[in-house]
Amino acid sequence: MAEALSAIHVTKSFPGVKALEDVSLELHAGEVHALIGENGAGKSTLISILAGATRPDSGEVKVAGHAVAFDSPGTARRHGISTIFQELSLQPWLDVASNIVLSNEPSLKGARQLLSRRQAEHVAQLALDRLGARDFSARTLVANLTSAQRQLVEIARALAFGAPVIIMDEPTSSLPSRDASRLLEIVRQLRDEGTAILYVSHRLDEVKTIADRVTILRDGRNVRTELIDNLTTGQMIESMTGRRVDHLFPERSSHVGEVVFRAKNLTKKGAFHDVSFEVRSGEILGFAGLIGAGRSEVMRAIFGADRFDSGHIELDGKTISVHSPREAIAAGISYLPEDRKEQGLVLDLSSRENMVMAALPRFSALGLVRGRQVRSVTAAMGRKLGVKGDLNRPSLTLSGGNQQKVVIGKGLISHARLLIFDEPTRGIDVGAKYEIYALIHELAAQGVAIILVSSDLPEIMNVPHRVIVMSDGGMHGEFVHPELSEEAILSAAFSAFTREQGAA
Ligand SMILES: Nc1ncnc2c1ncn2[C@@H]1O[C@H](COP(=O)(O)OP(=O)(O)OP(=O)(O)O)[C@@H](O)[C@H]1O
Ligand SMILES: [Mg+2]
């Protein structure tokens, strides 16, 4: 098979870390090549080198067998390489069409002069249609899009470009399942048309179905490259982590106590209606549903980040009203949002500062922050979560999965009575997932009431004691083991839609 893009003996260090050491990877035309490894293994760094965004300390990049020196993503694009980065790179104050066309303009086939506005919209809309993007158009302002929609725009940008090489860094991690399967379909089509695709994902089941070959990195080094059919999922995990992982889920404790939190008839016009539930001390309550079912909206309202129109909430039997996240935290409610970049972390602050931000009063005396206490608490938390990277440096320098661990550390340090985890393991590798589940269980065992919002079916099946399913803003079923099954959850999750269709 024709070699499309390769990294040859590439090494790259950042202050204090060797991100890549002597790594090689050969991507062929007409293949989907998966790149997997634990958080911090070096996947995004390798991609960034192949995409021209980072220069290696040593080693070479070759396009179609010829050595090239990329000095910017623009140069890589002119060599036919289109990249969808893990952290999205759109201009929020431009519309979708401008974002799609801007970066492509110099390279769009035959487009020597600037595209007219009409042409730009046309090119963008074609790509959006191919992706089946329904709820926005080429004219929508990017600032008004959800993170899943922005992800689709990034993908549309690569499609519009028609590049022979497409690199995707966790493209499905924030996509609703329908869009994710549509994307996988397109990836297959592109592959069949001869495109070379490098595909980073933590979803090993997805890797199994989509990839032809897989390269596994561990601690910045090559472990192996294999045909996907020669590896079981267990073997992939073992190569990524360097150890056997027999249990993906820790055992649930059975000590469920008094009601800690109660929501009564929470309603917000256009978002959710009549949501009532309670969570007990030591209990893990799951919220399943499709992305967009209203789960995060409910949680944000409970946390005081949004308003609700009617209904009320109680903590330890007393009705409380919270008007801001600050008040919620003071009352004992903590929320770890799904979107770490927009709501969870201030990327320019150090990971230490991020971790204690929500609990500052506890670490201050007479208006001064107790530095030593902050250092020891955050160091302990960093160890507990297995954060790879320097906590004193801006969170920006951590890999995506390690940033997510810092968000979790922030929630754990806040000493809440009710702790809400919203998609806590998105972008987290399998080994670290287990550690996060173990932490959730440990907190529950200490008597914290826990809500787990998750779109990951195995997770929602195995971590919570009880699961509520939301669909289209309403509650559509509540399941306890042993009635809890994937079929039961899925059919409840789709129930609002099937009913609509039935009525039509
Ligand atoms: N700009 C930077 N400055 C300092 N260190 C960095 C920088 N970018 C990455 N690193 C470090 O390099 C290592 C590899 O990070 P990288 O982002 O490539 O990992 P990854 O495999 O993509 O992980 P994830 O699955 O979490 O996205 C990590 O230790 C990370 O902290
Ligand atoms: Mg990464």
> If you measure from the C-alpha of residue 342 to the centroid of ligand 1, how many angstroms do you get, rounded to a whole number?
19
Q: According to the CATH classification, is domain 3-241 in 3.30.1380.20?
A: no
Compute, in angstroms, the gap from residue 428 CA to the centroid of ligand 2: 10
What does the pLDDT read at residue 342? 63
Q: What distance in Å separates the CA atoms of residue 178 and residue 331, rounded to the nearest whole number?
A: 38
Mutate to test the pocket of ligand 1, among 86, 399, 426 (most ligand atoms within 8 A of CB): 399
For tokens 């007479």, name the residue: 366
Q: Which atom of ligand 1 is nearest to the CA of 47?
A: 18
Rounded CA-CA distance 402/89 in Å is 19
pLDDT tens-place string over residues 253-273: 778 999 999 999 999 999 999
Tokens of 104: 């492509």
Residue 292: HSE in the Cβ half-sphere, 13 Å Cα cutoff: 15
Q: Residue 501's pLDDT is what?
A: 47
Closest CA to 293 of 489, 501, 504, 150: 489
Instruction: Write out pLDDT tens, residues 461-471.
Output: 999 999 999 98
C-alpha 44 – ligand 1 centre gap (Å) = 7
> What H or E segment, with its residue span, contains residue 179?
helix 177-192
Q: Strands, DSSP E only, in 29-57?
A: 32-36
Q: How would you class 500 by CB atoms within 10 Å of its CB: exposed for 0-12, middle for 13-18, buried for 19 or more?
A: exposed
Nearest one of 157, 19, 166 to 81, comparing CA atoms:
166
Ligand 1 atom nearest 393 alpha carbon: 4
Start-end of H helices in 387-472: 400-413, 430-445, 457-462
How much distance in Å is there from the Cα of 226 to the middle of ligand 2? 21
pLDDT of 391 reads 94
> Among candidates 217, 162, 170, 203, which has minimal Cα distance to 7?
217
Choose one of 25, 36, 45, 388 to mutate for the ligand 1 pocket test, by most ligand atoms within 8 angstroms of C-beta: 45
Residue of the CA atom closest to atom 19 of ligand 1 = 40
CA-proximal residue: ligand 1, atom 7 (nearest): 397
- Which one-letter DSSP state was computed for residue 250? P
Question: What percent of the chain is helix, strand and coil (3-state, nearest 5)?
Answer: 40, 25, 35
Q: In terms of C-beta density within 10 A (0-12 exposed, 13-18 middle, 19 or more buried), how is residue 106 classed?
A: exposed
Q: Which residues pair with 63 in a beta bridge?
A: 5, 66
Residue 487's CB: how many other CB atoms inside 10 A? 7
Residue (of 334, 338, 339, 269) closest to 302 by Cα position: 334
Q: Check residue 453 and give its pLDDT.
A: 95
Report which bound ligand comes closest to the CA of 168. 2
Token pair 């946390």 is at which residue? 303
Q: How is domain 259-332+416-503 classified at the architecture level of CATH?
A: 3-Layer(aba) Sandwich (3.40)
* 307-326 per-position pLDDT tens digit: 999 999 999 999 999 999 88
Sign of the Cα torsion 59, 64, 65, 69 reads: negative
In whole angstroms, what is the distance from residue 77 CA to residue 84 CA? 12
Q: Please state the domain extents for the chain.
A: 3-241, 259-332+416-503, 344-414
Q: What is the DSSP letter of 114?
A: P
Ligand 1 mutation target, pool 10, 11, 17, 36, most atoms within 8 A of CB? 17
pTM for the full predicted model: 0.75
Question: Do the first three CATH levels of 3-241 and 259-332+416-503 match, i.e. the same topology?
Answer: yes
Per-residue pLDDT in tens (0 to 9) along the chain, 504 residues: 689 999 999 999 998 789 999 999 999 999 999 999 998 899 999 999 999 999 999 999 999 999 999 888 888 988 999 988 876 678 888 999 988 887 665 544 444 445 677 888 888 999 999 888 888 999 999 988 877 788 888 888 888 888 899 999 888 877 777 778 878 888 999 999 999 999 999 888 889 999 999 999 999 999 999 999 999 988 998 899 887 766 778 888 778 999 999 999 999 999 999 999 999 999 999 999 877 789 999 999 999 999 999 999 999 999 999 999 889 988 999 998 877 666 678 889 999 999 988 788 788 887 788 888 899 999 999 998 888 889 999 998 998 888 888 888 888 888 889 999 998 888 788 877 888 888 899 889 889 999 999 988 889 999 999 999 998 899 998 998 878 888 888 888 877 666 544 443
Pocket-forming residues, ligand 1, beta carbon under 6 Å: 14, 17, 19, 37, 39-45, 86, 388-389, 397-402
Provide the CA 272 distance to its chain's centre, in angstroms: 24
What are the start-end ranges of the E strands in 177-309?
196-200, 213-218, 221-227, 259-268, 272-280, 284-289
- pLDDT attached to residue 22: 97
